Amino acid sequence: MMGSQRGEWRDVILPAIPSGQYTQHMSYLIKDLEPSAQYEARVQAKNRFGWNQLSENFRFSTRSAGQFSSSFINNKSILYRL
C-alpha cells in the first residue's frame, strides 16, 4: 500500500485462515487515512505453489473532511475489499 507521502510503500502480510473451500477471500482495514488524499494499493497472493504476480495498482482517494461525521473522522478507517 502506498502511503500519503509519494513513494512510501508499506507491506502488509495477512496470515491465511485455514478453509475447506477451494477459494478464499480476505479483507484488510486500512487505518489512519488522511481526508482528500490519493492512495495506491497492490495485491499479491501466495498458495502452496508460491507467490503470484503483483496486481496492477489500485488507485483510490478519500473524501474531504467535511463529508464525514466527526465520530467517523476520529476513527479514520475505511474498509476496501480487494
Given a cut of 60, whether residue 80 has pLDDT beyond it is no
Give the C-alpha separation, 18 to 26, whole Å: 12
pLDDT of 46 reads: 86
As given in the structure block, the three cell numbers for residue 77 are: 478507517
As given in the structure block, the three cell numbers for residue 34 are: 488522511
* Choice between 71 and 50, residue whose per-residue pLDDT is larger: 50
Locate cell 505453489: which residue? 49
Q: Tell me how far apart the 2 most distant CA atoms of the chain are, in Å.
A: 47
pTM of this prediction?
A: 0.60
